[in-house]
Amino acid sequence: MSLLDVGGPVMIGPSSSHTLGALRIGRFGNYFLGKTPDKAEFFLHQSFGQTYMGHGTDRALLGGVMGFGDADRAVKNAFALALSRGLDFSFQQEDLGEVHPNTVKMLLYDGAMPQEIWASSVGAGMIRIIKINGVDCDLSGAYPTLILVNKDTPRALGMILEKIDANVANLYLRRINKLLAKALTIVELDSDLTLRSLLEIKSLSVIQEAYYVKSLSAPIQGKGGEGR
Amino acid sequence: MTFNGIKQMASETKLPLHEAALVAELSETGNNPEETRAQLGEFLRVILEESEKQYGKVQETLTGLTGTNAKKVYDRGVLYHSPFTHVAIVASLSICESNASMGRVVACPTAGASGVIPGVFYALAKENEIPFDHLLPGYILASAIGNVIATKATLAGAAGGCQAEIGSAAAMAAGALAYLSGGDAEMVDSAAALVLKSLLGLVCDPVGGFVEVPCVKRNAIAVTAAISAAELALSGVSSVIPFDETVDAMRRIGRTLPMELRETGLGGLATTPTAKKAVDRILTRFQKS
Ligand code: SF4
């Protein structure tokens, strides 16, 4: 803990675990897609599922998916703002199994195929991203993250790592389709990639899809709705 | 970080208490004192801004269990308290009811206990007309007191009960008030210890698990306790048990609290017949919407 953790942060109430954490989870989804999705489906586990309306967890998730910052007052009007921006959404309770009580599964659509993200709000506004499109991981969202769908061929990983010009903090990978020889690679980085490095990775012959998720603590450009 | 450590550093270096806390922070986390001061200043600015904006207003809270209390006390005006304490109570209720309606708050030390510190600081700014630059040292010291608790024990209701949230908030507010009123290090120690001792054992039992009942009104009562403790300490009343040891006691008490009394909504006030009825009502209303 530091003085700054005790003296802050500035946030939208009422609960750091049920509101602030939820907002950050949603924002991870926004950064992943690089935009607000057309449709967002939320499946809420245990404590999240039972108390989400009384904590505004639903509005916080939705506001996050639209890219709102931690202290953006627009979160309160997230439902109306989502409708006006053409974002279709739904919330339901679901038993997600042996995970933290405050866990949500998000299906975010930009086109026909959704991105599936599982995340937990673990207290004091801190979050863990625990699964992305079927691949288990443990990301805090505090660092920039590279998410790649690549050909599962020998040397593919080596080629990717060679192009990364930031320090690699953590690496997660799994084959997602044996028939098509596809793998998903998640790389958590200590600092931002240069644009050049990112472009080089994207142009690799083994790369099919590449997503660069910026850090959740990166400064937010523009205003969510009504401003701070 | 211990409070004794901060006091000792202050007496060795002849620095004021809050500056010693910034130096301790530098040696523990590497955080630059000027940046820490500026960031804490931003938090304090938001606290004062929101207190001004929400003061005495009606709020539409998520559950509807609170939201009109700040206005009631504001409208009634001073009864038995001083104007200072009256302002502190209204500001505290205002911030907590705003928090419960998804307003902007500073989670100092937590969102649930976010009304106590604004109570004291807004009253100092409004009633005593203390300028911002003179308030900031108090806010730095309040954060340091909270950090002592976070290091030795916890600030989370789910881990240590409400003594860890509102108890800590009150200790931070009392210490800051004693400090800003010219109290020395021993008076600050006593102010924080006296109020924390009075709130030891306080359980976390929110109705339905929502941060409204008893949280909102508990913040307002805790502000008056913090002001009382500062008044005692500034008069020369000292706490027999020093602050650091009181925090140790709080940690031990927190460890023995059963899970039912740590933010689960399964014990205490949350299991009263009235609470159960209220929760049923809220859930039916949610289902309809
Ligand atoms: S009762 Fe629990 S939720 Fe409410 S303020 Fe106290 S610790 Fe926080």
**A161 falls in which pLDDT band (50, 70, 90)?**
very high
User: Do A34 and A125 belong together in one domain?
Assistant: yes
Q: What is the ipTM of this complex?
A: 0.95
Which of A16, A50, A51 comes nearest B110 by C-beta? Answer: A16
What would the pLDDT profile of A178-213 be if each residue is shown by its tens digit?
Answer: 888 999 999 999 999 999 999 999 999 999 999 999
What would the pLDDT profile of B1-57 be if each residue is shown by its tens digit?
Answer: 899 999 999 999 999 999 999 999 999 999 999 999 999 999 999 999 999 999 999
Domain stop point among A86, A112, A139: A139
User: Do A116 and A179 belong together in one domain?
Assistant: no
What would the pLDDT profile of B122-134 be if each residue is shown by its tens digit?
Answer: 999 999 999 999 9
Q: What is the pLDDT of residue A222?
A: 61
User: Do A35 and A57 belong together in one domain?
Assistant: yes
What would the pLDDT profile of A31-89 be if each residue is shown by its tens digit?
Answer: 999 999 999 999 999 989 888 989 999 999 999 999 999 999 999 999 999 999 999 99
**Residue B152: closest C-alpha in chain A:** A1
Q: How much is the mean pLDDT over chain B? A: 97
User: Do A101 and A183 belong together in one domain?
Assistant: no
Does A75 sit within 8 Å of B102, measured CB to CB?
yes
State whether residue B226 sits within 8 Å of chain A by CB: no
User: Do A174 and A117 belong together in one domain?
Assistant: no
State whether residue B114 sits within 8 Å of chain A by CB: yes
The CB of B112 under 6 Å from ligand 1? The reply is: yes
Domain stop point among A92, A119, A139: A139
Has residue B264 got a pLDDT over 90? no
Mean pLDDT throughout A3-24? 95
What would the pLDDT profile of A109-125 be if each residue is shown by its tens digit?
Answer: 999 999 999 999 998 89
- A155: domain CATH number? 3.30.70.260
HSE-CB at B224 with a 13 A cutoff on CA atoms is 13
Alpha carbons B207 and B275: distance in angstroms, whole number: 6
User: Do A21 and A113 belong together in one domain?
Assistant: yes
Smallest CA separation from ligand 1 atom 1, residue = B204
The CB of B165 under 6 Å from ligand 1? The reply is: yes
B195-206 CB burial, b ≥16 within 10 A, e <16: bbbbbebbbbbb
User: Do A110 and A172 belong together in one domain?
Assistant: no
Domain stop point among A139, A161, A189: A139
As separate numbers, helices (DSSP H) first and strands (DSSP E) second, chain A gives: 7, 11
User: Do A124 and A20 belong together in one domain?
Assistant: yes
Q: How many domains does the structure of chain A reveal? A: 2
- The residue range of the domain holding A98 is 10-139
Q: Where are the domains of chain B?
A: 3-288
User: Do A153 and A128 belong together in one domain?
Assistant: no
User: Do A70 and A36 belong together in one domain?
Assistant: yes
Cβ B103 vs Cβ B59: under 8 Å: yes
Cα diameter, chain A: 53
Cβ A17 vs Cβ A124: under 8 Å: yes
User: Do A151 and A125 belong together in one domain?
Assistant: no
Residue A77, min C-alpha distance to chain B (Å): 10
Q: In what order do the strands lie in the sheet with A145-151?
A: A168-177, A182-189, A145-151, A207-213
Alpha carbons B160 and B165: distance in angstroms, whole number: 8
The CB of B220 under 6 Å from ligand 1? The reply is: no
Which overall architecture, per CATH, does domain B3-288 show? Orthogonal Bundle (1.10)
Interface test with A, best of B104, B165, B210, B285 (most A CBs within 10 A): B104
User: Do A161 and A112 belong together in one domain?
Assistant: no
Q: What is the pTM of this model?
A: 0.93
Residue A206 included in any domain = yes
Residue A224 included in any domain = no
